[in-house]
Amino acid sequence: MASEERHTREYVVGAFPLRFVSICQLMTPSTSITVDENPHVGPPPLGGVVPLVEVSNLVKHYSDVGRGVIRALNGISFQVRAGEIFGLLGPNGAGKTTTLRVLATVLEPTAGSARICGYNVATQPAEVRQRIGFVSASTAIYDRMTGRELVTFFGRLHGMPVEAIRRRAEKLFDWLGLQEADRLGAKMSSGMRQKVSIARALIHDPPVLIFDEPTVGLDVLAARAVLDIVAALRKEGKCIIFSTHIMREAEKLCDRIAILHEGTILTEGTLEDLRRAAGTNDLEEVFFHMIAPNRVLPPSGLTSDHPS
């Protein structure tokens, strides 16, 4: 028993903490780890009535020695259903990543509640992790593992049988266009690394997917490929939360949008709802109307006259 305890650790991998035994055990097919043939609940039919994500009066405060209490989230609420992309739109520091990290069980809320498929993120984190996939621009890809090895590794962390992982991985690689899944992470392009991250998030076929600014740092073609993948996942009936500060991405993808600023949701609705409320068809103007309604434009005529 003592030796078993020495090999059990708490790690943070792929954006959420998982308790697991040694890496060697997980990667060895003959391991005696108990696995569940169906470790998750599949997504309900497209357009399901029951929300898969329920956030109610969610609060997250931090204590900082120099700055005092930092109020990252101030009682936000929203719901997301299957077959829907819910956009969190806001500037840097608005609270988007904090919200998603609470949903991914990385952070505990200060107050309020959040549920994924009915499971509470604070009191039932293991159940929540089996039902989510998390992708961000900063999700790590291990340089010394191939894409196939990485995806297999995370499949084992989720308790999947080896053969089920192999079949699912091949299907994902084909669907994502990852013809070079056996390339080492250190030799992958940024676009390929993000596709491997998506495959890693999808390996256990979770009903809820969280994308935290997934196109940051990608070139135009790679970013477009990621957006196309997210749109295709909606057609598969996935419940998707997509955070961004890029207006075009929100316009292209999101069924509903919440504008988040300084930890507060200022408005929420369909794109048409937001446009109608702000009296403009330009989402960027809607955004500025909400977060800076009294902004003052710089005066004209500031350029200096150049001597002839």
Q: What is the CATH number of the domain that holds 96?
A: 3.40.50.300
Residue 305: inside a domain: no
Give the distance, in angstroms, between the CA of residue 82 and the centroid of all CA atoms in the same chain.
15
25 inside domain: no
pLDDT value at residue 41? 39
CA distances from 15 to 100, 105, 204 (A): 10, 9, 15
Range of the domain at 178: 82-106+120-291
What is the SS3 string spanning the chain?
CHHHHHCCEEEEECCEEEEECCHHHHHCCCCCCCCCCCCCCCCCCCCCCCCCEEEEEEEEEEEECCCEEEEEEEEEEEEECCCEEEEEECCCCCCHHHHHHHHCCCCCCCEEEEEECCEECCCCHHHHHCCEEEEECCCCCCCCCEHHHHHHHHHHHCCCCHHHHHHHHHHHHHHHCCCCCCCEHHHCCHHHHHHHHHHHHHCCCCCEEEEECCCCCCCHHHHHHHHHHHHHHHHCCCEEEEEECCHHHHHHHCCEEEEEECCEEEEEECHHHHHHHHCCCCHHHHHHHHHCCCCCCCCCCCCCCCCC
Residue 267 C-beta-side C-alpha neighbours within 13 Å: 17
Question: What's the start-to-end Cα distance of the chain, in Å?
Answer: 87
How far, CA to CA in Å, does 91 sit from each of 213, 238, 243, 292?
A: 11, 26, 10, 11
pLDDT in tens, 123-173: 999 999 999 999 998 878 899 999 999 999 999 999 999 999 999 999 999
Model confidence, pTM: 0.80
Tell me which residues of the chain have a pLDDT lower than 50. 1-47
Question: What is the count of structural domains for the chain?
Answer: 1
For residues 34 and 185, give the distance between their C-alpha atoms in angstroms, rounded to a whole number: 29
Q: Is residue 196 part of a domain?
A: yes
Contacts of residue 37, defined as CB under 8 A and 6 or more positions apart, other chains included, come to: 161, 164
Distance CA 4, CA 150 (A): 24
pLDDT reported for residue 289 = 82
For residue 216, being part of any structural domain is answered with yes
Half-sphere exposure of 1 (CA within 13 A, CB side): 0
Predicted confidence at residue 300, as pLDDT, reads 61
Say if 113 falls within a structural domain: no
Query: Is residue 75 one of the residues assigned to a domain?
Result: no
Question: Is there a domain that residue 42 lies in?
Answer: no
Q: Determine the pLDDT at residue 65.
A: 86
Q: Is residue 112 part of a domain?
A: no
